[in-house]
Amino acid sequence: MARHHVRATVNGDAVEFLCETGQTLLEALRDELRLTGTKEGCGTGDCGACSVMLDGRLVCSCLVLGVEAEGRSIETIEGMAVGEALHPLQQKFLEHAALQCGICTPGILIAARALLERNPDPTEAEVRDGLAGNLCRCTGYHKIVEAVLAAAREMRGA
Amino acid sequence: MSELRYEAPKTLAEAVALLSGAKGRARVLAGGTDLLIQMRTGRIQPELLVDIKAVPELGEIVAGNGGYRIGAAVTGMQLIEHADFAKRWPGVVDGVRLIGSLQVKGRATVGGNLCNASPAADSVPALIAAGAVARIVGPHGAREAAVETVVVGPGKTSLAVGEIVTSLLLPPRPLRSGDAYLRFTPRSEMDIAVVGAGVNLTLDAQGICTQARVALGAVASRALLVPAAAAALIGTKVDAAALARLAAAARDACSPIDDKRGSREFRLRTAGVMVCRAAGIALERARRNDG
Amino acid sequence: MSSAIGTEDLKIVGSRPLRPDGVDKVTGRARYGADVSLPGQLIGKVLRSPHPHARILAIDTSLALALPGVKAVVTRDDFPDMPDEYAAAGELTINYRDVTRNMMAREKVLYDGHPVAAVAAISESVAREALKLIKVDYQVLPHVIDVREAMRPDAPLLHEAQYTEGVSPKPDKPSNIAKRLEFSRGDVAAGFARAEVIVEREFNTQPVHQGYIEPQACLASTTEDGQVELWTSTQGHFMFRAQCAKLLQMEVSRIRVTPTEIGGGFGGKNNIYNEPLAIVLSRKSHRPVKMVMSREEVFRATGPTSGGNVKVRLGATKDGRITAAFAELNFQAGAYPGSSVAPASMCAFTRYDLDNVRVIGHDVTCNRPKVAAYRAPGAPIAAFAVESAIDELAGKLAIDPIEFRLKNAAREGTQTYYGPKLGTIGYVETLEAARAHPHYRAPLGPDQGRGVATGFWFNIGGETSATVNINEDGTVALMHGTLDVAGGSRAAMAMMVAEELGIPFEQVRPIVGDTAVLGFNFITAGSRGTFAGGMACVTAARQAIDRLRTRVAAIREVPVEAVIWKDGQARPAEGSAIRFEPMSLAQIARLAGKTGGTIAGHAEINAQGAGPGFGTHIVDVAVDRETGAIRVLRYTAVQDVGRAIHPAYVEGQLQGGVAQGIGWALNEEYVYGADGVLQNPGFLDYRIPVASDLPYIDTVLVEVPNPNHPYGVRGCGEVPIIAPLAAIANAVSHALGIRLCDLPLSPPRVARAIADRPA
Amino acid sequence: MARISLSSGLALYTGGETAIELEVGNVRQLFAALGERYPELASRLETEIAVAIDGEIYQDALLQKIAGASEVFLFPKIAGG
């Protein structure tokens, strides 16, 4: 089966991979680039575990074809911490016990960062709306919402 | 195993040529949020995907002649973030906001929401109520069609082979007019409309409704324009009596089914509730839109 | 095992350090089932039945095998048949005869999604193509989905040789009722005769899925000499090893199972599905085989919990004393016997001190996937019915619902109707804490209602192993075999070990040992992780301490009785005349190699003495009378947790359980068409709560220590899912003045109840 | 003699008896004595039955001691999710 040769930028690095037309960006990230931090929970865009940024836009990577990534910039969970420092969201998730099994955590962190980039001072309701595309079955979201609000406060320097 | 090809033409003419050349076995790839799922579940097995996102004019939001032209490949999030459009057509934006999660709206397009032809598509009743017109280009040239005529049934459109919806045209927004879209879902987000209702109305200086368009989603095989429901509002102050007639007319227009998302009985009842609530919001917006 | 340390002395237990698995999980490093790969691996896929009930006449795999890239195909012919043989696993016992049939259908398919064949191929797309080439000749049979219909004598029969067990004399006709259970105490007829008020209701719940976000995933590698390595997302790698060995007739020593990080389980990952298929596909193809379920497969073929039909009758005197209680619980087991009806029957009334009780349970097979455990299996269904009836009874008696429960509450020494007297429990304490909570007195708005309900779960111990290795620098490698199914038990176990050894938490690195490096461990289920795992870790740490004391006695040339362990040091016993220079753990560790070798402690125990857990929940809801939509406004969960080792993680257990309970109460359900095919096998139409559906879930941790655990631990993970169903139903009933008896309380159902209300 | 009570559902396998007295030193001896007395119960004891001795529940604890005057209950084993 013919495969497409795709060139893209992932977490700032130039990458190349091969994929079949029907393969998703999620499959390309996980199986071709071995970036398994992005998770598949449903494959139908209903759980958000595969959330990544595509040219600065929050998307489900299971609903993007690998071939569509040609020339584009992708950010995944693997690029969230800078050097030794965790992103404030990552740190607050740890401090607020905002994760249990952790399978939804990469997607939720990516979505939370996208939310705070748009809205640095969200209300509780805005955080819940901003994360409504990310299912978590362990936490009841309580500590996730608290952690996002705490990270927002820290990032604002408040 | 048939080979699945992918093309990303840079012009509309190329796109149309590719689609017409594939004899119906091609699919337009815009946001892909419905298409990829249909491919994954095996419901469709196209041989060619024509990615239209590289065609510049399909990604534009252009104001002109008092109205708007929205490219068919404009994503939900682009439209939501367009401040002037959102001010003029808040009801259309209400509908677009409800298309899936933020992630899905980051990809899903307004053209795709229409052409996927789901009876429950959230932007469609809002666009119908707004009086939007689809611009369609095909191998035999361009044409325009009212949005309510594009979908003919679940998964079926009136587009001929090779035709693409290229943009949606929104008319000028009159003074003292407003629109709204509401839907009912069991969950607050991430759900499919059990009933959707779009209302667009215009008031005169005395607050009498002079024009109205009412559309319903998820209560028939396609989104419906309901003139009788609009007639219930025209000439009234959109008071309780008018709303009661509106609800009755809306229910009369419904021919819903029982399915996993809601019973026929529930859809009938809820259609009346949703259309009245949408009318209330549209009314408030019209009153505030006084120049 | 006891000798609990007093709270005042604790330095680490009760604090909130960061979980050891945390950084891996927030950076994407943590490796879950689907994240493990091997060079040369193939992709395995399963062909599933499209019919709810059919006889398999023939399977032809020749075209699939001929497809380039296909390396192996398996069907029923590749697995040995198994006789009836029962073993404990999960909720009820399992029967290996059924397990092998559920893993790969033999004579019949019994549900939509039942596996009939599997392939291993060089890619996912080739594997999918191969499945289309397998021809299965089915003789379609009539099917039955609903539990009440399945119980009828004329219902389509799933198992021709299944005669209802538990009735005397033995029935002469086979039945879908696999088993009848009965628990009784006292004289129920006399109790009802004495009652001044009686409530009688029938309740129904729909099957719900555990809804873990990570689909089942495994990777198997079988060598030519018959050694198997298996990586899988499981709640019990030792149980998976045992089941694979049994089903494939292999020696246990030939299978090594390494559990991956688990992306949620909640009981749903207690049982094997694809693992034996992957092992045999690997054996046939001589390549590693990876099998990852799709979400659709998870819904169609892995265990949801039972749907239940429950009839309840309660009688009380006017002063609020319950005189008699009766319940009949009819549970869907799915395709094979073994629902949670037994524990549900035993939980139904255990919150109350009752003289006259009778509970009948039926385990009923029907054409649905075989049910699996789900967090306090069966208890939420029983509690939904009983706590709704209790609420109604309190209402009829005009007694405050918490007060009514207090009047009848089980306490230490209360005789249960299923067996033992209750030990030290904290039910009354949770009721009193709930009554004193500001939530209970907060004003309600129009169309709002408040509900209260309570939950009970036994909790269990079981076989558990752990090793505490003292590293050469005095830090500790803790290896435990009770998987951390994500609640944070790994942190809690490390905290208890650090507490015992008197060293900082950060110096204890816990890891989950695979099946080759530790003794047997039962599945992490029944809220046993921190209880039993902790007990094993503490036992291992204390053995290490004994060895440390012995070593220091030898080094310092003093009698071992003169050496005590305190604050991370071996030091002279207080009051002892024998003095010597204390030695820290690090000092001993540095000398260990030269004074007899490295020091470790280990434990292989069967933990007994689990402490039952009780919870009391309060919830406020708002009902949209026009649409039937329910919004949860405020939620408070009070629970006796024994002692919270890591309070934040215990709160997380309560919040997560409540959220699952809210989903169960409001919107989650399996929807089957008339054709017996599941209509909502995805997260779009199987509606688990999203963030914007829920409020904050407040928690109150009551601590009545379990006297049988060194730190007072009770299990805490299951109790919180029990009360929400009834609490919400009670709240909605109060908001509307209508008693709602069927779940889920989805908008169409609530709207209909409002419309049908007699004027 | 220990006082042994069986949960009511087990009466089916004991000809209706739910309370007996036995001289046994541990759970294994208890199961052996019961199995001998009630053959239908025998196969269930080790896989399906939990034992409570003076209020403490034991599962899979064949060597657990039973003191002379103990109160013993037999009932179905518990697991969980």
- Do D and A make contact, counting contact as 3+ CB pairs within 8 angstroms? no
Domain boundary among A55, A79, A103: A79
State how far the Cα of C436 lies from the Cα of C142, in Å rounded to an integer: 55
The domain that holds A92 is classified in CATH as 1.10.150.120
Proportion of chain B above pLDDT 70, given as a percent: 99
Cis status of the peptide bond prior to C169, with omega within 30 of 0: yes
CATH class for the domain made up of B177-288: alpha beta
State how far the Cα of C31 lies from the Cα of C549, in Å rounded to an integer: 39
3-state secondary structure chain B: CCCCEEECCCCHHHHHHHHHHCCCCEEEECCCCCHHHHHHCCCCCCCEEEEHHHCHHHHCEEEECCEEEEECCCEHHHHHCCHHHHHHCHHHHHHHHCCCCHHHHCCCEHHHHHHCCCCCCCHHHHHHHHCCEEEEEECCEEEEEEHHHCEEECCEECCCCCCEEEEEEECCCCCCEEEEEEEECCCCCCCCCCEEEEEEEEECCCCCEEEEEEEEECCCCCCEECHHHHHHHCCCCCCHHHHHHHHHHHHHHCCCCCECCECHHHHHHHHHHHHHHHHHHHHHHHHHCCC
pLDDT in tens, B240-251: 999 999 999 999
Q: How many CB atoms lie within 10 A of CB B20?
A: 17
User: CB of B147 within 8 A of CB of B170?
Assistant: no
User: CB of C30 within 8 A of CB of A106?
Assistant: no
A63, A72, A126: best to mutate for the B interface, most B CBs within 10 A: A63
Task: State how many domains chain A has.
Answer: 2
Owning domain of residue D17: 2-76
Q: What pLDDT score does D12 carry?
A: 85
Topology classification of domain B5-53 = 3.30.43
Residue of D nearest to C303 (CA): D81
| Spans of chain C, pLDDT less than 70 | 1-8, 89-92, 759
CATH code for the domain defined by B56-170: 3.30.465.10
- Contacts (Cβ under 8 Å, ≥6 apart) of B276: B243, B246, B247
* A111 CB within 8 Å of a chain B CB: yes
Nearest-neighbour CA in chain D from C428: distance (Å): 19
State how far the Cα of C657 lies from the Cα of C639, in Å rounded to an integer: 12
Q: What pLDDT score does C374 carry?
A: 96
- Do D and B make contact, counting contact as 3+ CB pairs within 8 angstroms? no
pLDDT in tens, B70-116: 999 999 999 999 999 999 999 999 999 999 999 999 999 999 999 99
pLDDT in tens, C366-408: 999 999 999 999 999 999 999 999 999 999 999 999 999 999 9
* B188 CB within 8 Å of a chain C CB: yes
Nearest-neighbour CA in chain C from D51: distance (Å): 8
User: CB of C279 within 8 A of CB of C358?
Assistant: no
**Which of C25, C266, C292 faces A102 most closely, judged by CB atoms?**
C25
ipTM of the complex model = 0.96
- Per CB-CB distance under 8 Å, the chain C contacts of A66 are none
Domain boundaries, chain C: 7-30+461-607, 378-459+611-756
Q: Could you say which of 3.40.1190.20, 3.30.450.90, 3.30.365.10, 2.50.20.10 is the CATH number of the domain covering C7-30+461-607?
A: 3.30.365.10
Do residue A142 and residue C26 have CB atoms under 8 angstroms apart?
Answer: no
Do residue C692 and residue B269 have CB atoms under 8 angstroms apart?
Answer: no
User: Looking at the domain assignment, is residue D43 inside a domain?
Assistant: yes
**Which of A44, A51, A64 faces B37 most closely, judged by CB atoms?**
A44
Q: Chain D residues with CB-CB distance to C under 8 A?
A: 5, 7-9, 12, 47-48, 50, 52, 55-61, 64, 71, 73-81
Cα–chain center distance at C60: 39
pLDDT in tens, A33-85: 999 999 999 999 999 999 999 999 999 999 999 999 999 999 999 999 987 79
Domain boundary among A60, A79, A98: A79
Give me the numbers of helices (H) and strands (E) for chain A, helices first please: 5, 5
pLDDT greater than 80 at residue A2: no
User: Looking at the domain assignment, is residue D81 inside a domain?
Assistant: no
* Position D11 confidence tier, pLDDT thresholds 50, 70, 90: confident
Q: What pLDDT score does C480 carry?
A: 96
The domain that holds A24 is classified in CATH as 3.10.20.30
Do residue D80 and residue C460 have CB atoms under 8 angstroms apart?
Answer: yes
Domain boundary among A35, A58, A79: A79
Place of tokens 């070798």: C597
Do residue B190 and residue C747 have CB atoms under 8 angstroms apart?
Answer: no
The sign of the torsion formed by the CA atoms of C146, C152, C157, C162 equals: positive
Mark which residues 162-191 of B lie under 8 Å from A by CB.
Answer: 188-190
**Which of C129, C751, C755 faces B1 most closely, judged by CB atoms?**
C129
**Which of B77, B103, B189 faces A45 most closely, judged by CB atoms?**
B103
Distances (CA, A) of B156 to B119, B150, C679: 10, 9, 22
**Which of C125, C261, C648 faces A102 most closely, judged by CB atoms?**
C261
The domain that holds D72 is classified in CATH as 3.10.20.30
Range with the lowest mean pLDDT among B81-95, B127-141, B220-234, B252-266? B252-266
Packing angle between helix A105-118 and helix A88-95, nearest 10 degrees?
Answer: 120
Q: How many CB atoms lie within 10 A of CB C669?
A: 23
Q: What is the enclosing helix (H) or strand (E) of C37?
A: none
Nearest-neighbour CA in chain C from A79: distance (Å): 8
User: CB of C453 within 8 A of CB of C383?
Assistant: yes
Nearest-neighbour CA in chain A from B108: distance (Å): 10
Q: Matching CATH topology for B5-53 and B177-288?
A: no
Same domain for A71 and A118, yes or no, is no
* A43 CB within 8 Å of a chain B CB: yes
CATH 3.30.1520.10, applies to C378-459+611-756: no
Distances (CA, A) of B86 to B71, B79, C700: 16, 8, 44
Owning domain of residue A135: 88-156
User: CB of C514 within 8 A of CB of C256?
Assistant: yes
Residue of C nearest to B2 (CA): C129
List residues bridging with C325 in a β-sheet.
Answer: C314, C357
State how far the Cα of C696 lies from the Cα of C690, in Å rounded to an integer: 13
Nearest-neighbour CA in chain C from B243: distance (Å): 14
Q: What pLDDT score does B2 carry?
A: 62
Nearest-neighbour CA in chain A from B101: distance (Å): 5
Same domain for A95 and A73, yes or no, is no
Task: State how many domains chain D has.
Answer: 1
Q: What pLDDT score does B1 carry?
A: 47
Same domain for A106 and A52, yes or no, is no
User: Looking at the domain assignment, is residue D21 inside a domain?
Assistant: yes
Range with the lowest mean pLDDT among A24-38, C284-298, D6-20? D6-20
- Per CB-CB distance under 8 Å, the chain D contacts of C268 are 81
- For C580, list phi and psi in degrees, rounded to 5: -160, 165
Give the helix, strand, coil percentages of chain A, each rounded to 5. Answer: 40, 20, 40
D57, D60, D66: best to mutate for the C interface, most C CBs within 10 A: D57
Mark which residues 128-157 of C lie under 8 Å from B by CB.
Answer: 129
User: CB of C614 within 8 A of CB of C484?
Assistant: no
User: CB of C597 within 8 A of CB of C556?
Assistant: no
